[in-house]
Amino acid sequence: MNSELFVGASRSWILIVLVLLVAINDLRHYRISNYSVVATLLAGLFWSSFFGHLSGFIQSLLGVLVGFLLLILLYGMGGVTAGDVKWLAALGAWYGPKGVLGVFLASGGILGILSLGWMVYGSLYPLKPERESSPPPLEIDRVYQSSHRRRWMIPYALPIALGVLLIELSRILIAGQSG
């Protein structure tokens, strides 16, 4: 195995483990910790700087900015939490501006598929009439604090993790075929 292939595969596995740990925590607690965000951000900046030198560091910073900008409008409208915004920005340190856009698009497609599944599930197993009704759109704080949040919310770290998993496993498979 040549060193470039080893470095690329190591990066992929680090990212896979990181996103899976954060997704599991988000699924359990509906929270992406600041510790996870900072650790991911610093590790991404270090990795990009070490293996990409100054240009890698600059691309990493641009990725953080793009990752932040991709979700800040949704946050302002109440569609995602601050943790989601910070998490995508931190992943931008690993992916750079183009790569984090790819993560955003992949996770958006996966979120759409998960949302359809959630809707089908909700129609098959509706809430009892005496329970809370569905909150109005764009009130994520009300949904977040609801006892029925699992009925209405998909923790965004899950589709991000699935998107990263798809991207990184594709990279590993493609690198393995060409190497």
As a whole number, mean pLDDT of residues 119-147 equals: 60
Percent of the chain with pLDDT over 70: 83
Q: Are 59 and 52 in contact (CB under 8 A)?
A: yes
Hey, what amino acid is at 150? R
Residues 159, 137: Cα–Cα separation, whole Å: 20
| Exposure b/e, 105-116, CB count within 10 A at least 16 = b | ebbeebbeeeee
Half-sphere exposure of 39 (CA within 13 A, CB side): 12
Instruction: Label residue 135 by pLDDT band (50, 70, 90).
Output: low
pLDDT surpasses 80 at 122: no
**Stretch 2-9: mean pLDDT, rounded?**
76
pLDDT tens readout for residues 42-93? 999 999 999 988 999 999 999 999 999 999 999 998 888 899 999 999 999 9
Counting every residue written for the chain, the total comes to 179
Q: What is d(CA 51, CA 116) in angstroms, rounded to the nearest whole number?
A: 40
In the chain, what are the domain boundaries?
Answer: 3-178
